[in-house]
């Protein structure tokens, strides 16, 4: 699909428009090439049996990947370079990250199977949407967050540190820290008490 972009921020590249949260054309040659590179790397990652080999390829793909990370294949990223992941990360099977905007994930984040993190936002009006344009909004996930299976995280969301997102939730708005949040739309249902010191 070709996009109609004449007269709209014509002095910015499509990649710069996406980073700025403006309407951009995902079919732009630069973005298309980056997406194809990501698909090739993801295909190699998903064929790897050895976890260390997967991590080596993921470090080539992602903007940043911290220490002690583990990904169950398959994984999918739109671009990869817009995703920044901290230390001690774990994701179960079938993580899908549409990182047209920046995705920032903190330390000690655990993600269940079939989770989608979606930065793209598509126009509501038909004319703009049919012109092939979209925008993107950054997503931030704090430290020590647990995300249950089949959770969907939508553009522009911030999930606070220490939050637990229940399985099957659709996160459409910010979630404060240290709460259990569930549902569609996902809302906090209770606070999580401050952790007690672990003794043996």
- Condensed to tens digits (0 to 9), the pLDDT of residues 50-61 reads 999 999 999 999
CB-based contact 62:82 (threshold 8 Å): no
Collect the ranges in the chain with pLDDT lower than 70.
Answer: 1-10, 195-200
Indicate the SS3 state at residue 39: helix
Predicted pLDDT at 11: 83
Distance between CA atoms of 40 and 145, rounded to whole angstroms?
Answer: 30
Q: What is the pLDDT of residue 195?
A: 57
Active site residues: 122
Backbone angles phi, psi at 29, to 5 degrees: -55, -40
Contact yes or no for 110/165 (Cβ under 8 A): no
Helix or strand (DSSP H, E) at 180: strand 179-182
pLDDT at 2: 57
Report how far apart, in Å, the C-alpha atoms of 105 and of each of 41, 73, 87 are.
20, 19, 9
C-alpha count within 13 angstroms, C-beta hemisphere, residue 104:
12
> At CA 76, angle to CA 75 and CA 82, rounded to 5?
115
What local confidence, expressed as pLDDT, does residue 5 receive? 53
């Amino acid at each position: 699909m070709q996009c109609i972009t004449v007269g709209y921020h014509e002095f910015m590249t499509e990649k710069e428009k996406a980073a700025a949260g403006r309407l951009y054309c995902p079919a732009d040659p630069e973005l298309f090439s980056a997406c194809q590179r990501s698909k090739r790397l993801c295909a190699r990652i998903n064929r790897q049996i050895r976890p260390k080999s997967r991590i080596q390829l993921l470090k080539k793909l992602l903007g940043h990947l911290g220490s002690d990370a583990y990904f169950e294949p398959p994984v999918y990223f739109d671009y990869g370079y817009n995703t920044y992941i901290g230390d001690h990360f774990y994701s179960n099977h079938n993580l899908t990250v549409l990182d047209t905007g920046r995705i920032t994930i903190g330390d000690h984040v655990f993600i269940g199977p079939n989770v989608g993190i979606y930065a793209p936002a598509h126009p509501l009006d038909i004319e703009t949407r049919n012109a092939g344009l979209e925008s993107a909004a950054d997503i931030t996930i704090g430290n020590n967050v647990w995300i249950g299976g089949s959770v969907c995280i939508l553009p522009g969301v911030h999930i606070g540190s220490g939050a637990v997102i229940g399985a099957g939730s659709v996160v459409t708005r910010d979630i404060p820290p240290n709460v259990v949040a569930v549902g569609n739309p996902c809302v906090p249902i209770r606070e999580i008490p401050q952790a007690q010191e672990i003794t043996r």
